[in-house]
Amino acid sequence: MRREHKGICPSRWKTRCHISPVKWSKGRPQAYGKLTQAQVDGTAGDLSHSVLVLIEVEDTNDPPMFTVTVKQAMLEENAPIGTWVEKMTAVDHDSSHARDFVYKIGSDPAGWLTVDPHTGDITTVNTPDRESPHVVNGTYTILLNAVDNGDPPMTGTATLSIHVTDMNDNVPQPTVETVDVCLSDNVTTTDITAFDPDGIPFGGPFTFELLEDVKGKWKLSPSYGYTTGLVKESRCVCWPIHNCSEDL
């Protein structure tokens, strides 16, 4: 916070005086300080003088300050639009109109949120998705600004870290749609991995099953986990398994 003091020095002291100490407070643009002539043209210190001088404290525009600059909040995945998330508040200690300010969203990469410009209440305008690429380790981060009415306007900034609770809203998928199995009379195993973007326990491990009647031809080992082994027990052509129900 920059503060400027303007002292009024008698002209004959100007090059040798200093102001010490100066007492002032915000909202009182004038205060009294002590002006001391330390030395005059090399004269010994016993000739120094003390006077009271009028100090004009020039108010400059400072940005609004958030009472908490880093805040945590919780939000359920797929929460309905209009869900209240958190309230962020700021203050501006300026004495002029430059203390009036409004709240604005500074950064909201997925466009989920809005803020009441006057109260700082943050609510959703879109459905939050924990599996969004903008969510890192289950946390969605936004920046909130408080912009005052100064010229130029000054801006205070705060960070809101939103922990998005997970829902099981994604189905597991194999990482590949087809696999080729070499034609062989021997037993062969091909690994198949599945993926689910939900977090644990909604994102795995998985139970693997084979469709149709493939007993004695194909089996899975293991059938539980993130990767299964597709075992060809007899001579068979290729994946997909549901087209592989007959031996050659």
Q: Per rule CB under 5 A, is residue 198 in the interface with Ca ion?
A: yes
Q: Per rule CB under 5 A, is residue 130 in the interface with Ca ion?
A: yes
Cβ of residue 129: shortest distance to Ca ion, in angstroms? Answer: 7
Cβ of residue 99: shortest distance to Ca ion, in angstroms? Answer: 5
Token pair listed for 15: 């090059």
Which residue from 17, 55, 92, 214 is in contact with Ca ion, where contact means CB under 5 A? 92
Select from 219, 245, 215, 217 the least CA-distant residue to 230.
Answer: 219
Which lies closer to Ca ion via its Cβ, residue 35 or residue 92?
A: 92
Which lies closer to Ca ion via its Cβ, residue 71 or residue 99?
A: 99
Which lies closer to Ca ion via its Cβ, residue 45 or residue 201?
A: 201
Cβ of residue 131: shortest distance to Ca ion, in angstroms? Answer: 5
Which residue from 43, 168, 193, 245 is in contact with Ca ion, where contact means CB under 5 A? 168
Select from 122, 64, 55, 63 the least CA-distant residue to 88.
Answer: 122
Give the interface size with Ca ion as a residue count (CB under 5 A).
14
Token pair listed for 226: 């993130």
Q: Enumerate binding residues for Ca ion (CB under 5 A).
A: 61, 92, 94, 98, 130, 148, 166-170, 196, 198, 202
